[in-house]
Structure 1
Amino acid sequence: MEQAGRESLLLLKGEKIVGTASCCASRTPELAGWGEIVSLYLLPEYWGNGWGKALLSAAVKQLESMG
């Protein structure tokens, strides 16, 4: 999951990984200064309960902290 210039987040329920998100500075030259959520995955059994929204929110906060 580690890649230079990319931040990866894990969503855990206890010790079980139930979701992941990855974000970085925009990879599109025309969007320099913007951020990009590269991926967001959530196990299907966790859909519809707010877990994905929480993961997306965490990814946006991570992008904000990156400037």
Structure 2
Amino acid sequence: MTDIRITKATPSTDFDAVSRVYYETWLSAYRHLLPTGVLKQLSPDSWHPERRWQHTFLAMNGTAEIVGVCSYGPARMADYAGWGELYSLYVLPHFQRQHIGSQLIDQALKRLSQTYANNYVRVLNNNLAAQKFYLQCGFKKTETVLEDATRFGTIRELMMIREG
């Protein structure tokens, strides 16, 4: 198992490296879950993690390479005003299944619990592996499925909640 350190992002974080984690993880994790056109239009420049550095934890390996990222904060959906939200959780493919995601989410949930009693995460409706992971983290599935019509097809996300 790799030696991993979880740390808070700072203004001097290498956000290009964070964007690459997002990009590489999306290409790997979602290649069979999202329409191909969605993935083909992406590049590392598609993300701007520097915008929420105050609400981001990083997983760093022994050589200080950023191998995972988790961002969180206040709910972005009006129906969940007063809740916390997990915005993203990504671990580079070759570092997955080493409990890095669990370490990142633990830190984010600790931080969220300081302000919010309830939290949610949006998960691709067809991403059963992610749903299983979030169930293990104390989230529950809801009946709410959000739909986003894109020019490449409809993307469906399941709302999962973690109360109290």
Give your verdict on TM over 0.5.
yes
TM alignment of 1:27-66, pairs within 5 A = 27-65=76-114
Q: How far did residue 24 of structure 1 move?
A: 1.0
Question: Which structure carries more strand by proportion?
Answer: 1
Identity of aligned residues (%): 35
Identify the structure with bigger relative contact order (alpha carbons < 8 Å, sequence gap 6+): 1
> CA separation in 2, counterparts of 1:62 and 1:18?
21
TM-score, length basis structure 2: 0.37
CA RMSD of the aligned region, Å? 1.8
Report the structure number with the largest CA radius of gyration: 2
Which one-letter code corresponds to 2:93 in the other structure?
Answer: P
Where structure 2 has 5 or more consecutive residues not aligned to the other structure, the ranges are 1-48, 116-164
Where structure 1 has 5 or more consecutive residues not aligned to the other structure, the ranges are none
Q: How far did residue 3 of structure 1 move?
A: 2.0
Q: Which runs of 4+ in 1 moved over 3 A?
A: none
TM-score, length basis structure 1: 0.84
Q: 3-state SS of the aligned residue for 1:27?
A: coil
